[in-house]
Chain A
């Protein structure tokens, strides 16, 4: 069995004209590895990629150059299609894209040309937890207060497909809180300002982006999704409050990508030894004290989840029964 696998890999390697044979151990000496980012420079995905690009080389055999290339478009479907179909599986291309792409595949968005289960998964560099944070001058301390009050809470959101919209939508649909979602804000920062001027009462969003405002006591979080980060362990989780298994499944589907907050893949067919070397380098780089210090300064919390575990989650998401997927697509559309 093992020899057959090696043979297949060797043939694949020959066919693709790869610089690495399956027998040799991977070395990147004198090479340049490109991290293709599915968004423009300056966003969260880009910042994480750039910090990794600075620290990964020292943990790869041969100390290669690692550079970042931005390939925005189609909410990063363009970049994922590129890494899937165009980039060579020679270990010199890594892709990072919208964590929700797995949902795009699940809900059969037409432009999707990739199969997430076939990527050579390096892993995820962070999990991104979603919370609902409400204005601190309102009389509700907890989610329960909110539910019992029976009052309408106005939620500011960017639009469907973003966690600012989808998370409160499911809360409203399944957990019996009266929320009025007002969408169209151009960024989460704009919603924060609307909160300051009391145009809206609350917003959902990643804990990372809300933290400065929580620290400032402008808002406080009352409920979170499954993905966890230090500081919000005590909050109730939406899925635990779900009244039916169906509701729970739908909430779980929405939050699954957040556990794989910063996905990193290599083209399908990348040789195992290269993928393993890369996983190891990611793991070590993310634990590197220098990187950790820099990430902390940039208010990024990085935590490595190896490719095997990521792939498991991806497979669970993509193997949902059709009726669940159909109901899920009623609420959640693919977006940022």
Chain B
């Protein structure tokens, strides 16, 4: 095992593999920054280039590219409020709020440092999970996946707004999200739902245009209306200094970062949940760490913990999602599904062999994730203060550029004008939600989880009838969901009682 670990490192450090990894990092860096163009699509486009490579070179290239996408995607999310990737949308809530307070540097520092921690935890998990991965993954069947999704929605809905009324709004938004996810052909009877005879809607709503619309459009409107720069008219000196502060934040809340990394890894390991879920659960967990109602109000308005959570989780999930891909030949995310194609091209058969005969190759993947992230984060820190200065540019100059990115980013999803319409419609929805004080996070999570909830519930009932309700893991998760709903209520009552006493 230790031998294989070292051999894996030496494999990556061979000059050719290393050069390919750097090339991959370069590509991934830009793909992450640009909204819309996603990691999965890029992987698909890059696959033909690996025919002539050895397995280690091929994976150094593909994984090098893939593992930096989430990191640089966070940068776009923080600076502009546009999700650089579908998997980095949660970073916007607090990251962009910080940028607006003139703390872009600090937010970027925090997101990069937590990304690095997340990537390292994910890679370590990949290495450590190798002996236990089979039983772990096989414990979670359809009923358990359904319950995980329910816990996720309960978490976010109860935490993203304050008080009984806020919680009600949270659940309503989550419910609407679930409903919007039903657009398209349903998987049980093949009936077209809410498609209004439009072919574009047949395959359901794509996440990227919806996310871009719902998060970026309100920010753009806000920026135009204010007529200032993103960071307002705050003194510029602060922009350049925050990065180190952000790194310190990561260590100030080190255990939170680690816990969110573990959440990301776990979601990554579960095939079928998909990468977009991890960030939101981590965000929910971060918001839950607020001890008082006062503290909780800060979330969504620029609390650094809201940046650390998703930042860590969307990187750690990569290591996690490699686990089922390598061990079962069953991909944990859409990117991994394409990576699986890469396995075949390179002449490797994923499955138990990867954990025995090809263990060194598996470890070389772990090392690629580690090295690629370290290199990217260092590169980003060099550029960081320049990047943060973007928030001091006047809105009038910035808005046209952002709009181009927003339109192109949406359009690349299907190359269809429907993408643009979808983005604009959800832009309007997003704007109204912000204006009316409705939380967007539960809506987005409902949308992300809709298919998972529906399909796994259907499978659970069809396969086990009512007996799925009595499975032990299901019961534990159910208790967790109830606790997620009750905890903030109890907490609010307690702090309410306390403040009365003070008065």
Contact = CB atoms under 8 A, between A and B. Distances in A.
Interface of A: 40-42, 46-47, 50-51, 54, 69-75, 77-78, 81, 110-111, 154, 158-161, 180, 182-187, 189-190, 192-194, 196-197, 199-200, 212-213, 215-216, 294, 297-299, 333-335
8 contacts: A42-B41, A42-B43, A54-B48, A77-B202, A184-B459, A197-B139, A199-B142, A334-B190
Contacts of A299: 344
A158 B459 contact: no
Given A50-B48, A111-B197, A194-B141, A212 B458 contact: no
Contacts of B271: 189-190, 193
A47 B458 CA distance: 32
A290 B199 CA distance: 38
B190 A161 contact: yes
Interface string B334-355: 1001101100111101111000
Contacts of B48: 50-51, 54
Contacts of B189: 160
A200 B463 contact: yes
A43 to B, nearest CB: 8
B224 interface: no
Interface in B435-459: 451-452, 454-456, 458-459
Contact of B197 (A110, A186, A190): A110
A159 B188 contact: yes
B51 interface: yes
A110 B198 CA distance: 10
B324 interface: yes
A298 B344 contact: yes
B141 A197 contact: yes
Given A183-B188, A190-B330, A196-B330, 9 more contacts: A50-B47, A69-B415, A71-B415, A159-B187, A160-B189, A193-B272, A216-B352, A297-B344, A335-B185
Given A184-B454, A333-B190, A196 B328 contact: yes
A184 B346 CA distance: 31
A74 B199 contact: yes
B138 interface: yes
B272 A190 contact: yes
Contacts of B463: 154, 182, 199-200
Contact of A160 (B45, B190, B200, B456): B190
Contacts of B352: 216
Nearest to A218: B351
A301 B222 CA distance: 54
Contacts of B459: 182-185, 194, 199
A194 B187 contact: no
A209 B5 CA distance: 31
Contacts of B187: 158-160, 183-184
A78 B416 contact: yes
B331 interface: yes
Contact of A189 (B51, B331, B418, B451): B331
Contacts of B328: 192-193, 196
Contacts of A185: 455, 459
B40 interface: yes
Given A190-B271, A200-B463, A74 B141 contact: no
A161 B188 CA distance: 10
Contacts of B166: none
A27 to B, nearest CB: 27
Contacts of B54: none
Contacts of A74: 199-200, 202-203
Nearest to A71: B415
A213 B344 CA distance: 13
B202 A212 contact: no
Given A46-B44, A47-B341, A73 B202 contact: yes
B491 interface: no
B290 interface: no
A319 B180 CA distance: 40
Contacts of B341: 42, 47, 298
A212 B329 contact: yes
A278 B272 CA distance: 40
A112 B418 CA distance: 18
A193 B351 contact: no
Nearest to B186: A159
Interface string B310-332: 00000000000000100011110
A81 B200 CA distance: 13
A307 B209 CA distance: 38
Contact of B347 (A72, A81, A110, A297): A297
A122 to B, nearest CB: 21
Interface string B380-424: 000000000000000000000000000000000011101000000
A205 B40 CA distance: 24
B23 interface: no
Contacts of B429: none
Contact of B329 (A78, A111, A159, A213): A213
A71 B341 CA distance: 21
